[in-house]
Structure 1
Amino acid sequence: MDALVIGSGPAGLMAAETIARAGRDVTIAEAKPSAGRKFLMAGKSGLNLTKEEPTDRFIRAYGSAAPWLGPMIDQMDPVEVMAFAEDLEQPIFTGSTGRVFPKAMKASPLLRAWLNRIDAQMRLRWRWTGFEGEAFRFDTPEGPRLIAPGVTILALGGASWSRLGSDGEWAPHLAARGVELAPFQPSNMGFVVDWSPHMEAHFGAPLKNIALLADGVPTRGEAIISNRGLEGGGIYAVSAAIRDGAALALDLMPDRDVGGIARRLSKRPRKQTLTKALTNLGLDPLRRALLQEFARPLPEAPQELAATIKALSVPHKGPRPMDEAISTAGGVTRKAVNAGLMLNSIPGVFVAGEMLDWEAPTGGYLITACLASGKWAGTHAARW
Structure 2
Amino acid sequence: MSSALEQLIGGTAKVLSEKELAEKLELGRPLRIKLGVDPTAPDIHLGHTVAIEKLRQFQELGHTAVLIIGDFTATVGDPTGRSAARPPITREEVLSNAETYTTQAFKILDPEKTEVVYNGDWFNKMTYDQVLKLNGRVTMQQMLQREDFKSRLGEGKEVRLHEIQYPIMQGWDSVVVKSDVEIGGTDQLFNILVGRDLQKEEGLPQQVVMLMPLLEGLDGVKKMSKSSKNYVGVSEPAPEMVNKLMSISDELMDKYYLMLLGTKRDESQHPRDAKLELARRITARYHDEASAADAVQQWLDRSKGDQGAGATDVSLTDFPADLTVLSLASNAFQIGFNIKKSNGELKKQAILPGAIQLNGEKLTDPNAEITPKAGDILRLSKKHTVKFS
TM range (shorter): under 0.3
Structure of greater Rg: 2
TM-score for the superposition, normalised by structure 2: 0.28
TM-score for the superposition, normalised by structure 1: 0.28
Which structure features the higher share of strand residues? 1
Q: Which has the higher contact order (CA 8 A, sep 6+)?
A: 1
Which structure features the higher share of helix residues? 2
